[in-house]
Amino acid sequence: MWQSARQRTVFFNRIPRRRSARGNRFLRAFGVSCLVGFLFSSVVFAETYPLSKPQKLTPQAEKVVEQLGLGSWIWTTNFQEKQTCRFWKSFEVPANDPVRRALLRITADNSYHLFLDGREIGEGSNWKALTEYDLTFLLTGGRHVLAIDGFNDGREAGVLLGMRITLASGKQLDVVSDDSWLIVPNTAHRWLSRNRPDADWQPATVVGVVGQNPWWVNPVNIMTPPTLQPYEQHFWKTTWFLGAVLSVCIVALALSLWLAAKLALQTRAQKLLEVERARIARDIHDDLGAALTQLVLQSEVAQTEFPETSTARGHFSQFCSRARAASQALDEVVWAVNSKRDTLRDFSSYLCKYAQTFLSDAAIRCRLDVQAGMPASVFDLSVRRGLLLAVKEALNNAAKHSGAGEILLRINKDGGNVVVVVEDQGNGFDPDALGGAGNGLQNMMQRLQELGGTCHITSGIGAGCRVEFRMPLAHPASRGGFSLRNLFRRQNGAHQWQNLNGQ
Amino acid sequence: MTPHRAETKAPQFSTESPLKIALVEDKRDVRESWAKLINSFPDFICMCKCASGEDALRMLPPLQPDVILMDIFLPRMSGIECTTRLKNELPRTPIVMLTASDDDDLVFVALQAGADGYLLKRTTPADLRSALLDVLTGGAPMSSEIARRVVESFRQKPRGHDDTISLTAREEETLMLLTKGYSNKEIADRLGLSIETVRSHLKRIYEKMHVQSRAGAVARYMSGKPIENG
């Protein structure tokens, strides 16, 4: 009667229609027919529904169990309607004995979700049929965990499972549903992937054997979904790879933050240095320069107060010319230090002025050939200073040794280089026969090479002399702009100062 | 730049009426020293010492000095601004700038503003004297560096360009030779002119530069904006 009353469907949300059957009998027995009473009794019934006691297997059922390797129907003792019950079991597969075949058969009243090692294997909700999963490729040697999330709508509840593992050695390993399974409390989190049970997990209860009323002796159907394959583990999905990528990202981020900070600091330091240079230039000019000028003027005036023949007048005259020279030297320092004068245009105008003054004192005509519209591109302090000293040396040599009445100074920009030529049509010399006397020249060349420039001397006896300097606009190592190499330098500013002072 | 190296002996002025020099300089010690130095020349007299540009504008026009020596840095009204204003009042009086350092940018702006030359403060008395005589005889000395800037300033034709303030071929030729380091005498030889003609060319160039710059660089300078490429 019970079984005939069961109208099962595979759907979860079926409401047991025959719930009232027993209630009606109850009411009939007591002769009461009222709705309130029905509902009340219905509640009482639900709370007191007894679990059936496992019976002995019938011979026929025993054969089925043996053949399919099944266990018993299990559930929790705390039965409720609309109940979820989670089962957990771990088992060991021998490591040295490969699995040849592993079949897992399962059904549940009313439904189940099956997991192996946290991976969902399948689900089902037809208690009359068995589903047979082929886990051959999923079971490697070692410890595994089966987890079942079972659900029961009402009345009889149970999960039936049997897994038969055939090993290469011919041994057979059965994992079946029995009271060695543990019930996982609903409060447990991440239970699907748990390796070890908690101490408070209670064992499952066997609520019936195969064939026990109301369940089947023979399954109506055995469904066989396709053989399950192990997940293809792409290397980019592996933990270590993701970890490596993450750490590379973190390192890159940290590095770029560090570089950005350093760049900001360096830019600031560069700016400070420029401001500081401009300030020093201004201070020297305003204080020292003005004082020197005044000194010159006053001693000129004082000079006039002595008779022309007095020795004091001679002393004052000497004093004047010294102070004038000091004032001129000071101008040169101010020019070198002043960051406002860091351009090619300023350099070229300064060089022309210097050459004209210097050569007119030596009574030599100075010819200039300066590229029209010299750009105001930035010309590095260290290079500028080095080139100035070298050109001075070349002018000095020409004035002293060439015997020429005219010296040509040519300045132009050639791509990223400045080209300065000092040329005369004087005596000339044999560059090869220079020997020890050429120390000054060699120093000059070495200085320019250190700054990334070159110096070519063309001369012959009686053929004049031509010295060509070719310098990059910026010293590669002390360039102010952005460059990785620069960022890794500790003290860019210090380097520039060193160059300025260490002539 | 030594534009005031006298190339020819400046004509001797009669000593009966010494040439009147006016001085505009804010520092008292420097002012007194300059005055004494000028007065030590028999043919010059320092007739007026002004401590500021404002003083100069008030005192100088009625006095009609022969030459004005002007410090380029003055408190409040700068020497350059003062020069522009004085030129309106005394268009025929040469003004020579005094500068502590050889800064082309400032000097060029001063020349555009109407100055007729410049002197380094550390200059020798002999150079001072010849420079004063030079400027009085209509000379307008120009260094190669300044000449280069003049050429550039005329090539970048300003808005509302007027042909009357462009350079003639001869003037441009003169300037080009100057930029190459030739002296006035060498230019005269090369161009087959008298040295006086070369000097008058330069004088004309200065005048054109003043006209050209009225609305340009000086106006910019006086509105407080930085000079380009300063």
Provide the ipTM. Answer: 0.72
Interface membership of B157 toward A (CB under 8 Å): no
**Beta carbons of A301 and B37 less than 8 Å apart:** yes
A138, A116 Cβ separation under 8 angstroms: yes
Q: What is the pLDDT of residue A50?
A: 56
Same domain, B116 and B155: no
Q: Say whether pLDDT at B3 is over 50.
A: no
Out of A285, A300, A368, name the one closest to residue B125 (CB).
Answer: A300
Q: Say whether pLDDT at B223 is over 60.
A: no
Same domain, A286 and A323: yes
Q: Is residue A52 included in any domain, yes or no?
A: no
Same domain, B125 and B175: no
Same domain, B103 and B159: no
Q: What is the pLDDT of residue A130?
A: 92
Q: Is residue B206 included in any domain, yes or no?
A: yes
Residues of chain B contacting A289 with CB distance shorter than 8 Å: 100-101
Provide block-wise average pLDDT over 10 residues at a time, chain A (503 residues): 41 44 52 50 48 80 89 89 91 91 92 92 91 91 92 89 92 92 89 86 91 86 88 80 94 95 90 84 81 86 81 85 86 77 82 86 84 77 82 86 85 86 84 62 78 83 86 62 49 39 37
Q: Is residue B230 included in any domain, yes or no?
A: no
Same domain, B28 and B107: yes
Helix axis angle, A492-501 to A381-397, nearest 10°: 20
Interface membership of B229 toward A (CB under 8 Å): yes
- Spell out where A168-213 has E strands: 172-176, 182-184, 202-203, 205-208
User: Which residues of A fall below an 8 Å CB-CB distance to B?
Assistant: 285, 289-290, 292-294, 296-298, 300-301, 304, 320, 323-324, 327-328, 331, 334, 340, 343, 345, 349, 352-353, 356-357, 360, 365-370, 372-373, 376, 409
Out of A289, A293, A373, name the one closest to residue B152 (CB).
Answer: A373
Interface membership of B230 toward A (CB under 8 Å): yes
Residue A409 vs residue B162, higher pLDDT: A409
Q: Minimal CA–CA distance to A62: which of A171, A218, A224, A215?
A: A218
Same domain, B153 and B200: yes
Query: By residue range, what is the domain housing residue B207?
Result: 144-222
Q: CA A456 to CA A469: how far, in whole Å?
A: 7
Q: Is residue B2 included in any domain, yes or no?
A: no
Q: What is the DSSP letter of A402?
A: I
Q: What is the distance in angstroms between the Cα of B66 and the nearest Cα belonging to chain A? A: 22
Query: By residue range, what is the domain housing residue A384?
Result: 342-503
| Counts for chain B of helices (H) and strands (E), in that order | 10, 5
Q: What is the pLDDT of residue A100?
A: 92
Q: Is residue B14 included in any domain, yes or no?
A: no
**Beta carbons of A368 and B2 less than 8 Å apart:** no
The predicted model gives B161-170 an average pLDDT of 69
Same domain, B126 and B150: no
Q: Is residue A101 included in any domain, yes or no?
A: yes
Same domain, A376 and A428: yes
**Beta carbons of B37 and A356 less than 8 Å apart:** no
Out of A301, A345, A356, name the one closest to residue B181 (CB).
Answer: A356
How many domains is chain A built from? 4
Same domain, A269 and A374: no
Give the domain CATH number at B104.
Answer: 3.40.50.2300
Q: Is residue A206 included in any domain, yes or no?
A: yes
Q: Is residue B184 included in any domain, yes or no?
A: yes
Same domain, A438 and A423: yes
Same domain, A414 and A445: yes
Q: What is the distance in angstroms between the Cα of B152 and the nearest Cα belonging to chain A? A: 7
Q: Is residue B3 included in any domain, yes or no?
A: no
A82, A154 Cβ separation under 8 angstroms: yes
Give the domain CATH number at A410.
Answer: 3.30.565.10
Residues of chain A contacting B1 with CB distance shorter than 8 Å: 353, 356-357
Q: What is the pLDDT of residue B214?
A: 60
Q: What is the pLDDT of residue A14?
A: 41
Same domain, B112 and B187: no
With CA atoms as reference, the chain A residue closest to B29 would be: A294
Confidence of residue B222 (pLDDT cuts 50, 70, 90): low
pLDDT digits 0-9 by tens, B72-86:
888 888 888 898 888
Same domain, A333 and A361: no
Question: A-B interface: how many C-beta pairs under 8 angstroms?
Answer: 85
Interface membership of B179 toward A (CB under 8 Å): yes
Same domain, B127 and B29: yes
**Beta carbons of B181 and A367 less than 8 Å apart:** yes
A interface test, pick of B101, B120, B156 with most A CB neighbours within 10 Å: B101
Q: What is the distance in angstroms between the Cα of B225 and the nearest Cα belonging to chain A? A: 16
**Beta carbons of A293 and B125 less than 8 Å apart:** no
Q: Which of B136, B162, B197 is the last residue of a domain?
A: B136
Q: Is residue B15 included in any domain, yes or no?
A: no
Same domain, A209 and A357: no
Q: CA A142 to CA A91: how far, in whole Å?
A: 8
Same domain, B91 and B169: no
Q: What is the distance in angstroms between the Cα of A452 and the nearest Cα belonging to chain B? A: 27
**Beta carbons of B125 and A356 less than 8 Å apart:** no
Q: Minimal CA–CA distance to B113: which of B145, B81, B67?
A: B81
With CA atoms as reference, the chain B residue closest to A301 would be: B37
Return the structure tokens found at A220: 């109506």
Q: Which of A188, A203, A231 is the last residue of a domain?
A: A231
Q: CA A61 to CA B64: how far, in whole Å?
A: 139
**Beta carbons of B36 and A301 less than 8 Å apart:** yes
**Beta carbons of B1 and A324 less than 8 Å apart:** no
Q: Is residue A81 included in any domain, yes or no?
A: yes
Same domain, A290 and A363: no
Q: What is the pLDDT of residue A475?
A: 60
Same domain, A80 and A8: no
Q: What is the pLDDT of residue B158?
A: 56
Residues of chain A contacting B187 with CB distance shorter than 8 Å: none
Q: Is residue B6 included in any domain, yes or no?
A: no
**What length is written for chain A?**
503
Same domain, B124 and B148: no
Same domain, A312 and A358: no
pLDDT digits 0-9 by tens, A273-290:
888 888 888 887 778 888
A385, A503 Cβ separation under 8 angstroms: yes
How many domains is chain B built from? 2
Same domain, B67 and B151: no
Contacts of residue A417, Cβ cutoff 8 Å, sequence gap at least 6? A453, A470, A471, A472, A473
Q: Minimal CA–CA distance to B216: which of B230, B205, B206, B228?
A: B228
Q: Which of B116, B136, B156 is the last residue of a domain?
A: B136
Same domain, A22 and A89: no
With CA atoms as reference, the chain A residue closest to B34 would be: A297
Same domain, A66 and A195: yes
Per-position b or e across A247-270, b if 16+ CB within 10 A of its CB: eeeeeeeeeeeeeeeeeeebeeeb
Q: Which of B102, B117, B136 is the last residue of a domain?
A: B136
Q: What is the pLDDT of residue A11?
A: 41
Q: Is residue A53 included in any domain, yes or no?
A: no
Out of A294, A368, A372, name the one closest to residue B144 (CB).
Answer: A368
**Beta carbons of A290 and B37 less than 8 Å apart:** no
Same domain, B123 and B169: no
Q: Is residue A377 included in any domain, yes or no?
A: yes
The predicted model gives B183-188 an average pLDDT of 83
Query: What kind and span of H or E run contains B58?
Result: helix B53-63
**What length is written for chain B?**
230
Residues of chain A contacting B143 with CB distance shorter than 8 Å: 353, 356
